[in-house]
A and B are shown apart, each in its own frame.
Chain A
Amino acid sequence: MTESILRLTVNGALHTVVTSSHRTLLEVLRKDLDMTGTKHGCDLGECGACTVLVDSKPMLSCITLASQVEGREITTIEGLSDGPFPDELQTAFSELGAAQCGYCTPGMILSSRSLLDTNPDPTTDDINEALAGNLCRCTGYVAIISAVHLAATRTLGRAE
């Protein structure tokens, strides 16, 4: 097993990790950095639970080698909040019951964050399209869609 030294910028902080060179970003986040907010659901890029943001775009960390994202800005669910202050999406997901078992939630919220960053006032179709790669078995997506709308509304300062 070859080991390599990786320099990863995660949630604004630079981490130097000595790890096997074939480790995926998911494995490095969870095992080397103990950031377990990013979830492991399939290992094959099918479910979206492992979604993180790389330079603000959603990426499936289970099929991304950690070495591929050196020098890029990686954001996980732990880094979406500003310390104790949650992102609008995190608040809206909780308020509207968009998390039931909560396992798809980190990936779902990060995909939603990327959507709102590029499209601050999405239609329901836009949201459905953006989240089509994130599977949820609990909610039927209904509350999730509402939560993304609510977060967008609040960010835009519109009446709810």
Chain B
Amino acid sequence: MHAVGTAGPRIDGMEQTMGRTKYTDDMTLPGMLIGRLARSTQAHARIISIDTSAAEALDGVKAVLVGTDLPITYGILPVSQDETALAVGKVRHVGEPIAAVAAIDAETAERAVDLIKATYEPLDTVASIDGALLEDRDLIHGEGKGLNVHRTAALEFGDVDEGLASADHIREDVFYFAGNTHAALELHAALATAEPGGRVTLWSSTQVPHYVHRTLAKVLEMPAGQIRVVAAPVGGGFGGKTDPFSHEIVAAKLAMVTGRPVKFTLTREEVFYAHRGRHPVLMWVKTGFDTEGRITACHFKTFLEGGAFGSYGAASLYYTGALQTSTYQIPNYRFEGVRVFTNKPPCGPKRGHGTPQPRFALECQLDKAAEDLGIDPVAIRLINAVEPNSMTVNHLRITSCALSECIERVAEASGFKEKFENLPAGKGVGIAVGAYMCGAGLPIYFNEMPQSEVQIKVDRGGGVTVFSMATDIGQGSTTMLATVVAEVLGLEPSDIAMVTADTDLTPVDLGSYSSRVTFMGGNAALEAGTAVKDRVFAAVADKLGAPIESLVAQNGRIEDAEEPDTGVSWAEAVALAIASGGPLIESGSYRAPKLAGPYKGAGVGISPAYSYSAAVVEVDCDPDTGIVTVDKVWLAHDIGQSINPLLVEGQIEGGVYMGLGEALFEADDFRGALHRGPSLLDYKMPTSLDMPPVEAILIDSDDPEGPFGAKEVGQGPLLPVIPAVANAIWNALGIRMDQTPFTPDKIVAALRDVARGKPGRFGPKEVPAFEFPPLIMVEPPEGFPTGRIHIEVGVS
């Protein structure tokens, strides 16, 4: 392979570094108006009135909208259509949009927003998991009072009671993972135009143009064919731009109403209210072990604080239970979960979507069990590690899997064993692992259509243009697609022109979420590229009188491998193909194999493949101040095959960084239902001074279904980092951090407890008494754990 596996720059790298990339907020259209949103000052209240007359009368204001102008509900999931573009009837969190203004400039729009007067009748504010589980509070969704429960799940695989009864050692632990946010540097923005004929175009900083397209069609009551959505280059996403948003819908509507382009750019404070960040999750975990540390059964309960809307929450809930089994052979497993509504900005998916929280709990508990049993933390992970080509008890199909190798390599590279036993007090090392999906196995809207489609058009001069709705959010998906096609056609990635993320021009790719683009978009590009190659090879074979099988595409030429001198240039080959077969336009697609197990909720967690990671973190802790300094992180990642190792390492470094931020600093902090610090000054994230060196170790497990064997890297590497920090703090100070983030106050509090002779631990002590629904009992897969593994080579 000449292109795949080669470390190279992004194909748009120089455009970025020379400041030429046009993000949504960088675009201006003639006559463009500026939009602003008026937002709720109340956490939970009935709207008595919204008076927009003064705003409408202000010179320079062209239109004002309120909730009743856009009353149709929407939401990213078909099962959670509970949002409106502007609040209708009631408000559910501080910062919820209640009205929108379009004016000739930002200053006028802002003044108009200040002139909008809303009156409210307050309702009970629900601001915690405990509060949501009280029966006498006003419902956030629905009328009257009751439990503010959004969704529940209760599943059992195998026999947990029997598994626990057979255990030699049982641990019961409680953990809390604080909510936090993406804080992508680019503020959310949207720019809309409406043509006189009625067509609407929206440019947006979105990770999911396809779902924004669907939402606009629904809410604007227009045929999808009359709407064009373009995702401009996205200045960071991390899951924060994966929902359809109020400002996108309102921009389109205001453009229709005013007949002029309208642009919205949220302020940083507004981005905190738009949110969709990491759910706060309270967890209770009971796990049985045999004397060698093998897990005999696990019972996992999660309590998710969802904020004011559904968003991805129904899926997030199941994700807090789905992937525990993807790394460890858990023969009996019970998962009970509940997601509640609270009057806070809505939570959603952030890098790892619902899995970093339980991963933190599981990896910390495993560390404690190892300590109890006198086993080292590496050994307990190796003895439980899942094997390639196996089934999990909850019906996940595991194919390529280099988890054990990840653990061994990272332990060896870091000198874990030596350090674990010998580092002086205050210094320590911790280890943890993780796994993540290479794309959700099911699309959000269940259907039989492909999840990714790619089209390739070849110009008569040999120019190759790839069309795909895949959305580059910084992860490098555009470069990845160009590399796959270049590999197939014997060209260089920089030879390929890319047209992406435009519903008018590009065939569907569902979007940049669930780490799906390399696997699914990459496979579609591979199929499309192969179709182009087949046509070109047929024409060249005819011309040269050589058998097709002996042709190769390399160095910009199509050559007979036996007699390279007789080949033709790529451009000549293309001309031959067009002359013999007409326009050289081919397409490819990818649809994941059907993998869901036989139970409700089985759609969450299934994936055509899983990436694996293991991390070792070395810390230096100051017992007086409680400050934890991370000295180094080693991270081994089973990538299957790197399409571009430079970009893969960048994702690992970024995942490690974001994990360290969540471990040590980052939390959305509320006073009641009011965000205490919706700014980048108050929301503490790591700077260059806080970032340790990262040693990335790439392991190629060559996935049987991935494009060239590739798997994901965007989300997986974050997962082990957070528990590895907690476990390192234990090794350094002898205290257990069972609650994120591990801030100095928590460290000092736990150390003070130790000094008073109490256990050194910071974290919640119990979970609310909540009656989960009756368990759905699910038989493990036939022949578990080896099962019947069906691998679909060349799935399309």
Main secondary structure of the interface of A (DSSP, over half): loop
With A93-B17, A94-B14, A99-B10 as given contacts, are A140 and B657 in contact (CB-CB < 8 Å)?
yes
Q: Is B243 an interface residue (CB 8 A)?
A: no
- Which B655-698 residues sit within 8 Å CB-CB of chain A? 656-658, 679-681, 685-689, 691, 693-694
**B681 contacts A141, C-beta separation under 8 Å:** no
- Which A42-77 residues sit within 8 Å CB-CB of chain B? 42-44, 46-47, 49, 76-77
Cβ 8 A contact of B693, one of A77, A90, A131, A142: A142
Residues of B within 8 A of A30 (CB): 26
Residues of B within 8 A of A103 (CB): 23, 184-186, 235-236, 474
With A131-B688, A137-B182, A137-B185 as given contacts, are A77 and B18 in contact (CB-CB < 8 Å)?
yes
**A109 contacts B17, C-beta separation under 8 Å:** yes
With A100-B650, A101-B236, A135-B687 as given contacts, are A77 and B19 in contact (CB-CB < 8 Å)?
yes
Q: Give the CA-CA distance A132 to B687 in the complex, in Å.
A: 6
Q: Is B16 an interface residue (CB 8 A)?
A: yes
Residues of A within 8 A of B185 (CB): 39, 41, 47, 49, 101, 103-104, 135-137
Residues of B within 8 A of A34 (CB): 28
Cβ 8 A contact of A44, one of B26, B237, B680, B691: B680
- Which B1-47 residues sit within 8 Å CB-CB of chain A? 9-10, 13-14, 16-23, 25-26, 28
Q: Give the CA-CA distance A37 to B9 in the complex, in Å.
A: 20
Q: Give the CA-CA distance A105 to B647 in the complex, in Å.
A: 16
**A91 contacts B17, C-beta separation under 8 Å:** yes
**B681 contacts A142, C-beta separation under 8 Å:** no
Q: Is B483 an interface residue (CB 8 A)?
A: no
Main secondary structure of the interface of B (DSSP, over half): loop
CB distance from B498 to the nearest CB of A (A): 15
CB distance from B481 to the nearest CB of A (A): 16
- Which A112-136 residues sit within 8 Å CB-CB of chain B? 127-129, 131-136
Q: Is B187 an interface residue (CB 8 A)?
A: yes
CB distance from B191 to the nearest CB of A (A): 13
Residues of A within 8 A of B265 (CB): 40
Q: Is B646 an interface residue (CB 8 A)?
A: yes
Residues of B within 8 A of A102 (CB): 16-17, 21, 233, 235, 474
Residues of B within 8 A of A143 (CB): 649-650, 653
**A140 contacts B656, C-beta separation under 8 Å:** yes
Cβ 8 A contact of A95, one of B9, B20, B182: B9
Residue of B647, B654, B656, B686 with highest tally of chain A CB at under 10 A: B654
Q: Is A18 an interface residue (CB 8 A)?
A: no
- Which B335-364 residues sit within 8 Å CB-CB of chain A? none
Q: Is B254 an interface residue (CB 8 A)?
A: no
Q: Give the CA-CA distance A77 to B649 in the complex, in Å.
A: 26
Residues of B within 8 A of A136 (CB): 185
**B17 contacts A105, C-beta separation under 8 Å:** yes
B473 to A, closest residue via Cβ: A101
CB distance from A128 to the nearest CB of B (A): 4
With A91-B17, A139-B657 as given contacts, are A101 and B187 in contact (CB-CB < 8 Å)?
no
Q: Is B183 an interface residue (CB 8 A)?
A: yes
**A144 contacts B688, C-beta separation under 8 Å:** yes
**B646 contacts A100, C-beta separation under 8 Å:** no
Residues of B within 8 A of A94 (CB): 9-10, 13-14, 16-17
**B689 contacts A40, C-beta separation under 8 Å:** no
**B653 contacts A101, C-beta separation under 8 Å:** no
Q: Give the CA-CA distance A98 to B14 in the complex, in Å.
A: 11
B21 to A, closest residue via Cβ: A102
Residues of B within 8 A of A97 (CB): 9-10, 13, 646-647, 649-650
Number of interface residues of B (CB under 8 A): 55
Residues of A within 8 A of B473 (CB): 101
CB distance from B156 to the nearest CB of A (A): 39
**A132 contacts B182, C-beta separation under 8 Å:** no
Q: Give the CA-CA distance A136 to B653 in the complex, in Å.
A: 12
Residues of A within 8 A of B26 (CB): 30, 36
Residues of B within 8 A of A36 (CB): 19, 22-23, 25-26
Q: Is A16 an interface residue (CB 8 A)?
A: no
With A97-B9, A101-B236 as given contacts, are A140 and B654 in contact (CB-CB < 8 Å)?
yes
**A101 contacts B186, C-beta separation under 8 Å:** yes
CB distance from A154 to the nearest CB of B (A): 14
**A40 contacts B650, C-beta separation under 8 Å:** no
Q: Is B476 an interface residue (CB 8 A)?
A: yes
Contact code string B186-200 (vs A, CB < 8 Å = 1, else 0) = 110000000000000
Contact code string A76-90 (vs B, CB < 8 Å = 1, else 0) = 111011000010011
Residues of B within 8 A of A133 (CB): 687
With A44-B268, A78-B19, A102-B474 as given contacts, are A132 and B689 in contact (CB-CB < 8 Å)?
yes
CB distance from B236 to the nearest CB of A (A): 4
Residues of B within 8 A of A132 (CB): 687-689
Q: Is A20 an interface residue (CB 8 A)?
A: yes
Residue of A77, A98, A135, A141 with highest tally of chain B CB at under 10 A: A141
Contact code string B613-653 (vs A, CB < 8 Å = 1, else 0) = 00000000000000000000000000000000011011001
Q: Is B267 an interface residue (CB 8 A)?
A: yes
A81 to B, closest residue via Cβ: B18
Q: Is A1 an interface residue (CB 8 A)?
A: yes
**A139 contacts B653, C-beta separation under 8 Å:** yes
- Which B459-492 residues sit within 8 Å CB-CB of chain A? 473-476
Residue of A42, A44, A96, A109 with highest tally of chain B CB at under 10 A: A42
Residues of A within 8 A of B10 (CB): 94, 97, 99
Q: Is A28 an interface residue (CB 8 A)?
A: no
Q: Is A17 an interface residue (CB 8 A)?
A: no
Q: Give the CA-CA distance A93 to B16 in the complex, in Å.
A: 9
Q: Is B208 an interface residue (CB 8 A)?
A: no
**A142 contacts B694, C-beta separation under 8 Å:** yes
Q: Is A138 an interface residue (CB 8 A)?
A: yes
Residues of A within 8 A of B680 (CB): 41-42, 44, 46-47, 135
Q: Is B234 an interface residue (CB 8 A)?
A: yes
Q: Give the CA-CA distance A143 to B183 in the complex, in Å.
A: 20
**B267 contacts A90, C-beta separation under 8 Å:** no
**B646 contacts A46, C-beta separation under 8 Å:** no
A49 to B, closest residue via Cβ: B185
Chain B residues with a Cβ under 8 A of chain A:
9-10, 13-14, 16-23, 25-26, 28, 107, 182-187, 233-238, 265, 267-268, 473-476, 646-647, 649-650, 653-654, 656-658, 679-681, 685-689, 691, 693-694
| 16 CB < 8 A contacts A-B | A1-B107, A39-B23, A41-B185, A44-B679, A95-B9, A97-B649, A101-B236, A101-B237, A101-B474, A105-B17, A132-B687, A137-B685, A138-B474, A138-B650, A140-B658, A141-B688
Chain A residues with a Cβ under 8 A of chain B:
1, 20, 30, 34, 36-44, 46-47, 49, 76-78, 80-81, 86, 89-91, 93-106, 109, 127-129, 131-145
New contact pairs (6) apart from A42-B268, A77-B18, A138-B236, CB-CB < 8 Å? A36-B22, A41-B268, A96-B9, A100-B236, A104-B185, A145-B688
Nearest 9 A/B pairs, CB to CB:
A37-B19, A101-B474, A140-B657, A103-B235, A94-B13, A77-B19, A102-B16, A36-B26, A46-B680
